[in-house]
Structure 1
Amino acid sequence: MLLNLHVKNLAIIDEVEVYFSDNLNILSGETGAGKSIIIGSINIALGAKVPKDIIRKGADYALVELVFQVEDINCIEALKELDVPLQDNQVIISRKIMNGRSVSKVNGEIVPTSLLKDIAALLIDIHGQHEHQSLIHKRTHLNILDRYAKEEIKDLKEKVAHSFQIYRNALNELNDASVDEDKRIREISFLEYEINEIESARLKEGEDEELTAQFKKLSNANSIVEGLSSVYQLTGNEDSGSVSESIGQASKILSKMESYDKEVTQFTNFMSDLEDMIHDFNRNIKDYLEQINVDREELNITGERLDLIHNLKSKYGNTISDILRYCEESKTRLEKYLDYDNYINQLRKKVEIERTNLEDLSYRLSEIRKRNASKLSLDIKEALIDLNFLDVRFDMNFATFSDFTYNGIDDAEFLISTNPGEDMKPLGKIASGGELSRIMLAIKSILANNDSIETLIFDEIDVGVSGRTAQKVSEKLAVISQNHQVLCITHLPQIAAMADEHYIIEKKASENSTTTKIRHLDESESIQELARMLSGAELTETVIQNAREMKELASNTKKY
Structure 2
Amino acid sequence: MLRNLHVKNLALIDEVEVNFQPGLNILTGETGAGKSIILGSVHLALGGRYTRDMLRKGSDFGLVELVFEPENPAIIRQLKEMDIFLEEGQILLSRKLMDGRSVSKINGETVNMSVLRDVASILIDIHGQHDHESLLHKKNHLAILDAYARDSVDSLKKKLAEEYRHYRACRRELEDASMDEAERKREVALLAFEVDEITDAGLRPGEDQELEEQYRRMTGGKKLSEAIAETYRYTGEAEGVSDALSRAIRTMQEISGTEEKAEELYGQLVDVDSLLNDFNRELMEYAKTFEFSEEEFHEVEERLNLVNHLKSKYGNDVEEISAYCEKQEKRLSELQDYDAYLAGLSSALESAEQKLSTDSDKLSRARKKAAVSLTQEIKQALIELNFLEVQFDMQFEQMKDYTENGRDDAQFIVSTNPGEEMKALYNVASGGELSRIMLAVKTVLADREDTPTLIFDEIDTGISGITAGKVAGQMRIIGRNHQVICITHLPQIAAMADAHFAIEKKAENGKTTTGIRLLNQSESEGELARILGGAEITDTILQSAKEMKEMAKREKNASVK
Amino acid at match of 2:346: R
Maintained 8 Å contact 2:52/2:99:
no
SS state of the match for residue 87, structure 2? coil
Q: Which range moves more in the overlay, 285-294 or 59-68?
A: 285-294
Q: Which range moves more in the overlay, 344-353 or 203-212?
A: 203-212
Distance 1:395 1:384 in 2: 12
- Following superposition, the deviation at residue 436 of structure 1 comes to 0.6
SS state of the match for residue 409, structure 1? strand
Amino acid at match of 2:417: N
CA root-mean-square deviation: 2.6
User: Are positions 1:342 and 2:312 aligned together?
Assistant: no
User: Are positions 1:197 and 2:197 aligned together?
Assistant: yes
User: Are positions 1:32 and 2:22 aligned together?
Assistant: no
Q: How has the CA–CA distance of structure 1 residues 440 and 283 changed in structure 2, closer, same or farther, with 3 Å as cutoff?
A: farther
- What TM-score do the two structures reach when normalised by structure 1? 0.85
SS state of the match for residue 524, structure 2? helix
Amino acid at match of 1:131: D
Larger radius of gyration: 2
- Following superposition, the deviation at residue 353 of structure 1 comes to 1.2
Distance 1:517 1:374 in 2: 46
- Following superposition, the deviation at residue 91 of structure 1 comes to 2.2
Match of 1:506 in 2: 504
| Match of residue 318, structure 2, among 307, 317, 320 | 320
Maintained 8 Å contact 2:51/2:100:
no
- Following superposition, the deviation at residue 540 of structure 1 comes to 2.9
User: Are positions 1:9 and 2:17 aligned together?
Assistant: no
Distance 2:89 2:230 in 1: 74
Maintained 8 Å contact 2:225/2:292:
no
Match of 2:261 in 1: none
Distance 2:512 2:226 in 1: 82
Distance 2:301 2:101 in 1: 52
Maintained 8 Å contact 1:457/1:488:
yes
The runs of at least 4 aligned residues of structure 1 exceeding 6 Å deviation read 226-232, 282-286
Distance 1:555 1:357 in 2: 56
Q: Deviations over 1:348-394 (max 9, x none)?
A: 11111111111111111111110110101110101001111111100
Distance 2:348 2:304 in 1: 44
Distance 2:401 2:467 in 1: 43
Match of 1:426 in 2: 424
Distance 1:443 1:374 in 2: 14
Match of 2:533 in 1: 535
SS state of the match for residue 435, structure 2? helix
Q: How has the CA–CA distance of structure 1 residues 108 and 228 changed in structure 2, closer, same or farther, with 3 Å as cutoff?
A: farther
- Following superposition, the deviation at residue 329 of structure 1 comes to 0.4
Q: Which range moves more in the overlay, 184-193 or 292-301?
A: 292-301
Maintained 8 Å contact 1:27/1:490:
yes
Distance 2:550 2:311 in 1: 84
What is the percent sequence identity of the aligned residues?
A: 53
Amino acid at match of 2:180: D
Q: How has the CA–CA distance of structure 1 residues 433 and 228 changed in structure 2, closer, same or farther, with 3 Å as cutoff?
A: farther
Maintained 8 Å contact 1:76/1:89:
no
- Following superposition, the deviation at residue 401 of structure 1 comes to 0.9
Distance 1:298 1:533 in 2: 99
Maintained 8 Å contact 1:161/1:406:
yes
Distance 2:359 2:288 in 1: 78
Distance 2:430 2:77 in 1: 40
Maintained 8 Å contact 1:387/1:469:
yes
Distance 1:383 1:377 in 2: 10
- Following superposition, the deviation at residue 6 of structure 1 comes to 1.2
Match of 2:353 in 1: 355
Distance 1:58 1:321 in 2: 62
Q: How has the CA–CA distance of structure 1 residues 288 and 59 changed in structure 2, closer, same or farther, with 3 Å as cutoff?
A: farther
Q: Deviations over 1:189-245 (max 9, x none)?
A: 11011112222333233333333344444555565358789999xxxxxxxxxxxxx
Match of 1:70 in 2: 70
Maintained 8 Å contact 1:5/1:18:
yes
Q: How has the CA–CA distance of structure 1 residues 18 and 222 changed in structure 2, closer, same or farther, with 3 Å as cutoff?
A: same
SS state of the match for residue 134, structure 1? helix
Amino acid at match of 1:23: G
Match of 1:141 in 2: 141
Match of 1:405 in 2: 403
Distance 1:283 1:26 in 2: 102
Q: Deviations over 1:37-61 (max 9, x none)?
A: 2212112222223233433344343
Q: Which range moves more in the overlay, 311-320 or 189-198?
A: 311-320
User: Are positions 1:464 and 2:462 aligned together?
Assistant: yes
Q: How has the CA–CA distance of structure 1 residues 305 and 556 changed in structure 2, closer, same or farther, with 3 Å as cutoff?
A: same
Match of 2:308 in 1: 310
- Following superposition, the deviation at residue 77 of structure 1 comes to 2.5
Distance 1:424 1:462 in 2: 24
Q: How has the CA–CA distance of structure 1 residues 230 and 301 changed in structure 2, closer, same or farther, with 3 Å as cutoff?
A: closer
SS state of the match for residue 394, structure 2? strand
Distance 1:97 1:535 in 2: 39
Q: Show the 5 A alignment for 1:267-278.
A: none
User: Are positions 1:390 and 2:388 aligned together?
Assistant: yes
Match of 1:44 in 2: 44
SS state of the match for residue 480, structure 2? coil
Maintained 8 Å contact 1:416/1:425:
yes
Match of 2:23 in 1: 23
Match of 2:264 in 1: none
Amino acid at match of 2:453: T
- Following superposition, the deviation at residue 97 of structure 1 comes to 2.9
Match of 2:151 in 1: 151
Amino acid at match of 1:518: I
Q: Which range moves more in the overlay, 88-97 or 394-403?
A: 88-97
SS state of the match for residue 537, structure 2? coil
Q: Which range moves more in the overlay, 340-349 or 81-90?
A: 81-90
Q: Show the 5 A alignment for 1:436-451.
A: 436-451=434-449
Distance 1:208 1:378 in 2: 71
Q: How has the CA–CA distance of structure 1 residues 381 and 185 changed in structure 2, closer, same or farther, with 3 Å as cutoff?
A: same
Distance 1:506 1:77 in 2: 39
- Following superposition, the deviation at residue 94 of structure 1 comes to 2.0
Amino acid at match of 2:145: L
Which ranges of structure 1 fall in alignment gaps of 5 or more residues? Answer: 233-281
Maintained 8 Å contact 2:160/2:406:
yes
Distance 1:308 1:13 in 2: 72
Distance 1:230 1:390 in 2: 110
Q: How has the CA–CA distance of structure 1 residues 86 and 208 changed in structure 2, closer, same or farther, with 3 Å as cutoff?
A: same
Match of 1:248 in 2: none
Q: Which range moves more in the overlay, 440-449 or 8-17?
A: 8-17
Q: Deviations over 1:119-176 (max 9, x none)?
A: 2222111111111110011111000001001112221111111111111111111111
Distance 2:156 2:78 in 1: 19
Q: Deviations over 1:7-42 (max 9, x none)?
A: 122233222111011111001112222222221211
Match of 2:132 in 1: 132
Distance 2:327 2:526 in 1: 79
SS state of the match for residue 499, structure 1? coil
- Following superposition, the deviation at residue 284 of structure 1 comes to 11
In the comparison of the two structures, how many residue pairs are matched?
Answer: 511
Distance 1:198 1:530 in 2: 86
Q: How has the CA–CA distance of structure 1 residues 500 and 336 changed in structure 2, closer, same or farther, with 3 Å as cutoff?
A: same
Distance 1:113 1:440 in 2: 28
SS state of the match for residue 316, structure 2? coil
Q: Deviations over 1:418-472 (max 9, x none)?
A: 0111100011221111111100000000000111221111000001111211111
Q: Show the 5 A alignment for 1:170-181.
A: 170-181=170-181
Q: How has the CA–CA distance of structure 1 residues 409 and 289 changed in structure 2, closer, same or farther, with 3 Å as cutoff?
A: same
Maintained 8 Å contact 2:52/2:98:
no
Maintained 8 Å contact 1:437/1:462:
yes
Match of 1:271 in 2: none
SS state of the match for residue 52, structure 2? coil
Maintained 8 Å contact 1:25/1:502:
yes
Distance 2:451 2:284 in 1: 82
Match of 1:102 in 2: 102
- Following superposition, the deviation at residue 328 of structure 1 comes to 0.8
